[in-house]
Amino acid sequence: MKHYINSEILSISTIKDIIETQKSIELSEEAISKIEKSKAYLDSKIENNSTPIYGINTGFGSLFDVEISSENLSQLQENLVMSHACGTGDLVPKEIIKLMLLLKIQSLSYGYSGVQLQTVQRLIDFYNLDILPVIYAQGSLGASGDLAPLAHLALPLLGKGKVYYDNETIDAEDLLKQKEWTPIILEAKEGLALLNGTQFMSAYGVYCLLKSFKLSYFADLIGAISLDAFNCNMSPFNPLVHFVRPHNGQIKTAEQVLNFLEGSEIGQSKTKQVQDPYSFRCIPQVHGATKDTIDFVNKTVKTEINSVTDNPNIFVDSDEIISGGNFHGQPLALALDYLGIAMCELGSISERRTYQLISGQRELPNFLVKNPGLNSGFMIPQYTAASIVSQNKQFATPASVDSIVSSNGQEDHVSMGANSATKCLKIVENIERILAIELMNASQALVFRDAKSSDFIEQFLTSFREVVPFVENDRLLATDIHNSILFLKNMGIDNDVVFN
């Protein structure tokens, strides 16, 4: 199966399908034509032309006024890639590197970048053969594009740096010899086209969104299990309540929870408190606000991944080469900070439900275990969830409000969107852990109820209890937490459900 680049708009659901079905990618005929047309135009413009064109026959950043002779244009681009590969810190996950390749190829395919066709084809070879450049998570200011991480993405084209291949980390030079490939000789502007761009931030954005859509669904489902486990009043989910405050996410959440609990014996029982704590009663309002935020971020990321974000841009039909600022990551920086904050709230309210479930209320035993005292039961998993929630609050501090001057004052406002991106991933991964702990507690609590939940939830919990059985007496709960996380991580959900 293949996906043809530039033949359709990329969406989060399209990318999910490309990844899950392991489609190879190929340039459409239209994309090939655009790339070749742009390259031919650029070659014609710089031939015997001494007029300064930024990054093509000049230096970079604050060195924009240094002219470069025609015989050094290729060396200029290679020097750019090598000098900018200054990443450090944690290694970028392989899944995100592969997304970076896909998104860089997509951006170059529009024909506004002046690159060689063989350069794009080599990136496609990397993608299709799972040759993934080794990239570091720290180093980008998210303004002149993601310079450092994208430089590491580009290094193997030159036979430099390292790559992951066949479950090994090897030198790119050795890989090229193994494949009998010659290194790409970068021509005018190519290094700049490869390094300018937002594909590091965008790839993190796509990855975080894919997880966020799924975790939003699980937050509703696990919240619904907790509602029955705590024997909650269902009146706050009545559609009448939400149609008088019609935020889309709020309405969707209430509907989804009611669908999950349809036919529940516990939900239909009359022995209810008049009101429940906010962490149960306000699930539609809190989860719904996060849904609306995810939708907003999805629109921003979708626009970004279908855009040209390098500089300068080549407009063949208008006969212009324009130096602008499409590499600036401000839209993504704000969006990813917003997504991180919104996902934090799913963890915050989840931990509060966990706390209520172990509190010995509503005819549930203290810490959800027989013989409390002799057994500590589910006392400490709530500590774990609380510590993660606290850490998320620190990660949620916006990165996008900061800016540090660089390049001798030429790049005097930067987005810090790369930090927004890496923080957002940490938050999202933490949410998966917090929800996994709530699921353990809710599953344990339901066993103490005399009535059953809905058929859907009972079937879901039957599968879950094969991985995390009922806790009769104290045991090593770290194992159960890890198994619960893996259960959520490995559970596939249809696109129609995730993106509804």
Q: Which residues are catalytic?
A: 54
d(Cα 420, Cα 422) in Å, to the nearest integer?
A: 6
Residue 303, classed as helix, strand or coil, is: helix
In DSSP terms, which residues pair with 138 in a beta bridge? 88
d(Cα 129, Cα 24) in Å, to the nearest integer?
A: 9
Q: Whose CA is closest to 227, among 272, 175, 160? A: 272
| Alpha-helical segments (H) within 238-282 | 239-243, 248-260, 265-268, 278-281
- Ramachandran angles phi, psi of 472, nearest 5°: -80, -45
What are 174's two structure tokens? 């050795």
Contact 316, 404 (CB under 8 A): no
Q: Where are the beta strands (DSSP E) in 29-144?
A: 88-91, 132-133, 136-138
Q: Which residues are within 8 A (CB) of 155 and not within 5 positions of it... i.e. 6 or more apart?
A: 81, 82, 85, 133, 161, 172
Contact 177, 165 (CB under 8 A): no
65-103 burial, b at 16+ Cβ within 10 Å, e below that, comes to eeebeeeebeebbbebbbebbebeeeebbeebbbbbbbb
Q: Whose CA is closest to 266, among 220, 234, 221, 218? A: 234
Give how far the C-alpha of residue 367 lies from the chain's centroid of Cα atoms, to the nearest Å: 35
Q: Which residues are within 8 A (CB) of 22 and not within 5 positions of it... i.e. 6 or more apart?
A: 1
130 burial (CB, 10 Å; 0-12 / 13-18 / 19+) is middle
What's the 3-state SS for 409-470? HCECCCCCHHHHHHHHHHHHHHHHHHHHHHHHHHHHHHCCCCCCCCHHHHHHHHHHHHHCCC
| CB count in 10 Å sphere of residue 11 | 16
Pairing of strands 2-5, 24-27: parallel
